[in-house]
Amino acid sequence: MAQRQIFALPEDLLEVFELVEAKHPLRYTRTGLFDSSQITSVLCGADLPSLYLPAPNAATLCPSYLVTYAEASPGVRPVPQHGGALRYAIDQLQNPDSTVLTHGGLFTSDVLISGRVGTSSTSSVASQLQSSFAAAISKVFTRINAYHVGPGAVRLLQRGCRLTQNVRSPAEYNLAVRA
C-alpha cells in the first residue's frame, strides 16, 4: 500500500491538483456506500464538493474520492443489506486502477485535520496515479515527521494551530516540529 499522509488547506491542494491534472485528465468520484447506483464525478480537484467545507472531527470521517483517469468509468458494486435492501459501493475493490484522496481540512480556524492520498491496488495504473500525486505533493509540500504539510498548513503550524488526525486525541499526537 502506497500513501502520502498530508495536512493541507484547499489552496495547498489546488497547486497539487494543477500539477497532476496537467499530466493526466482525471476523474474524482466520492467513495462510500450509497442508496443509488448513479455516479457523480468531477473532472477537476478544485471542484470537489467538500473541499471548502469544514472537516469532520477525525480524519477517518473525512470525505474520500476515488481518483481515476478521466476516460475511466468507475465501477459500482451492489452490496446486499441485512433485511433485503441493496446499497451501492464505490471503492477500490471494484476500481483497482485508482488511488484515493481524502483531503482533510479545517475543523475550526485553529484545528486542521489530516488527509491522505493512497492506494491499496498493485495495478500499474494505480501506481502511476499514486506516483503523480506523490511527486506533486513532494514538490509543493514540506516533509515534517511522517507528514507532508502544505504551505498554508505550515503557516498554521507556525501560528500554533493544532494539526491532528482527531480532535479527541491527546495533544501529544498533534503534529509538532521536533527540536
Q: What confidence score (pLDDT) does residue 80 get?
A: 96
Q: What confidence score (pLDDT) does residue 29 get?
A: 98
Q: Could you tell me the residue range of the domain that residue 120 belongs to?
A: 2-173
pLDDT band, very low/low/confident/very high, at 1 (cuts 50, 70, 90): confident
Q: What confidence score (pLDDT) does residue 179 get?
A: 52
* Percent of all residues in the chain with a pLDDT value above 70, rounded to a whole number: 99
pLDDT greater than 70 at residue 3: yes
Q: What confidence score (pLDDT) does residue 177 get?
A: 72
pLDDT digits (tens, 9 = 90+) for 52-105: 999 999 999 999 999 999 999 999 999 999 998 999 999 999 999 999 999 999
* Residue 178 belongs to some domain of the structure: no
Q: What confidence score (pLDDT) does residue 61 get?
A: 97
Q: What confidence score (pLDDT) does residue 178 get?
A: 62
How many other C-beta atoms are found inside a 10 Å radius of the C-beta of residue 179?
3
* Residue 179 belongs to some domain of the structure: no
pTM: 0.95
Question: Count of domains in the chain?
Answer: 1
Q: Which residue has the higher pLDDT, 146 or 178?
A: 146
pLDDT greater than 90 at residue 176: no
Whole-angstrom Cα distance, residue 58 to residue 165? 6
Q: What confidence score (pLDDT) does residue 108 get?
A: 97
